[in-house]
């Protein structure tokens, strides 16, 4: 294995390319976005990830990593393109299909083809392998075809690409071993070989487990509000039990995994997945729950000014994919009653359809701050500025990340029993 061709230079493909390049391999990263390609060839990147700008600059300067708009012949091909969902919440595997068709003309006997994109069960056997067959490639004998789902946490991707256990599922046992050996060259964690469909389902269940657990926490928030209980304290105490680990509640579930992957299971087994579907409904309801609390807080105000803090689905990253914060912000902007200012120090204006404000602009004259992402900047707020600039210093913290401070009324999402309307 000397040359690797990575298709897709997004949140997974770009770090993966950089890691292999750092290990000494010749890596060509392929993307349809000319801007992304041009930036990478200058040693620059278009996404935010800890340590990635420095690493990319280093490996590009060394000549180990370059970008292209088209694939090239290589020993290993890694497909790392998105798999969004259609409006009917079935998986959209068009990008995987396009990527497979794009690399097929460059495949040679003995090559390894790995799909890292998250996909529904049996996609490797029922979609990817037949495409190769149509291009005259025997997917079961000529090349080694496998699925190795990414399993990383944004903000820790460069660490977890190396240290996390990797699950590698081939469409043949030989493919499992060949693909696993690709990762063994760089991974310090365990690399486990299995069948393709098992690898596909294992990734989906990892994220579905977390989605269901978060749904339990979010349902607890609603119950606690009705009963006047602090859900955050309940979770903290319940988690003292050695076999209990309730996740944290929030304004909904976002990102390209947790908010999407459960639907890939549901579409293949609708009647058999009522729990998974209910969890999705609960988490999807949270932006509306947040909006209800904002309406209650501002019901006595004539023209409430609201400062939205955070658009990403989690803290300290720039990823807004499937973010509930985006949905909540859109609902606020759609209501002519609200004067909305939006602040997120990690998001660029070209990523969203909103006009972004500075911190000072957002809080100036505001009645309410709604915290929708747990960025470090929000954990270390300048409360002097808030008290000085806000008309009524009230914060609704949906991520339970803002510390209490004298002179500022703070409502946390899991402790709303004492919520009262803001008065001018």
Q: Where are the extended beta strands (E) located within 8-139? A: 26-30, 65-68, 76-79, 112-115
Distances (CA, A) of 239 to 42, 164, 243: 48, 25, 8
The pair of three-digit structure tokens given for residue 57, joined into one six-digit string: 């600059």
Cα 413 from Cα 148, distance rounded (Å)? 37
CA 279 – CA 262 distance, rounded (Å): 9
Residue pair 158/15 in contact (Cβ under 8 Å)? The answer is: yes
Catalytic residues: 203, 257
Question: Mind giving me the DSSP string for 86-104?
Answer: -TTS-B--HHHHHHHHHHG
Inter-residue contact 396 to 420 (CB < 8 Å): no
Q: How many CB atoms lie within 10 A of CB 156?
A: 14
Residue 30 CA to residue 11 CA, distance in Å, equals 13
Contact, 251 vs 372, CB < 8 A? yes
């Amino acid at each position: 294995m000397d040359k690797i061709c990575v298709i897709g230079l997004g949140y997974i493909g770009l770090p993966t390319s950089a890691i292999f390049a750092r290990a000494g391999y010749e890596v060509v990263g392929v993307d349809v976005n000319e801007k992304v390609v041009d930036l990478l060839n200058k040693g620059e990147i278009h996404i935010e990830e800890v340590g990635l700008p420095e690493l990319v600059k280093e490996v590009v300067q060394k000549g180990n990593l370059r970008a292209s708009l088209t694939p090239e012949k290589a020993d290993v091909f890694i497909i790392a393109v998105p798999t969004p969902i259609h409006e009917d919440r079935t998986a959209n595997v068009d990008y995987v299909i396009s990527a497979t068709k794009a690399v097929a003309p460059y495949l040679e006997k003995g090559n390894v083809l790995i799909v890292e994109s998250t996909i529904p069960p049996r996609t490797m056997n029922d979609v990817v392998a037949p495409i190769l067959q149509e291009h005259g490639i025997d997917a079961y004998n000529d090349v080694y075809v496998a699925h190795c789902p990414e399993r990383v946490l944004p903000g820790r991707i460069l660490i977890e690409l190396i240290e996390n256990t990797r699950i590698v599922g081939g469409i043949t046992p030989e493919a499992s071993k060949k693909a696993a050996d690709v990762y063994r060259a760089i991974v310090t964690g365990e690399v486990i070989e299995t069948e393709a469909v098992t690898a596909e389902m294992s990734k989906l269940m990892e994220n579905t487990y977390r989605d269901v657990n978060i749904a339990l926490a979010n349902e607890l928030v609603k119950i606690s509000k009705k009963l006047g209980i602090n859900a955050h304290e309940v979770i903290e105490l319940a988690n003292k039990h050695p076999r209990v680990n309730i996740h944290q509640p929030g304004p909904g579930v976002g990102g390209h995994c947790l908010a999407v992957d459960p639907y890939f299971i549901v579409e293949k087994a609708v009647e058999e997945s009522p729990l998974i579907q209910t969890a999705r409904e609960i988490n999807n309801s949270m932006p509306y729950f947040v909006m209800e609390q904002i309406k209650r807080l501002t019901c006595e105000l004539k023209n409430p000014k609201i400062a939205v803090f955070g658009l990403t689905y989690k803290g300290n990253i720039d990823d807004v994919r499937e973010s509930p914060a985006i949905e909540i912000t859109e609902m606020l902007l759609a209501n002519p009653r609200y004067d909305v200012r939006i602040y997120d120090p990690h998001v660029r204006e070209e990523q969203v359809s909103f006009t972004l404000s500075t911190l000072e602009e957002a809080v100036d004259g505001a009645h309410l701050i709604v915290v929708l992402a747990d960025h470090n900047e929000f954990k270390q707020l300048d409360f002097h500025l808030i008290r000085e600039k806000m008309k009524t210093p009230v914060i609704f913290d949906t991520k339970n990340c803002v510390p209490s401070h004298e002179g500022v009324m703070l409502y946390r999402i899991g402790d709303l029993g004492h919520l009262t309307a803001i008065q001018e």
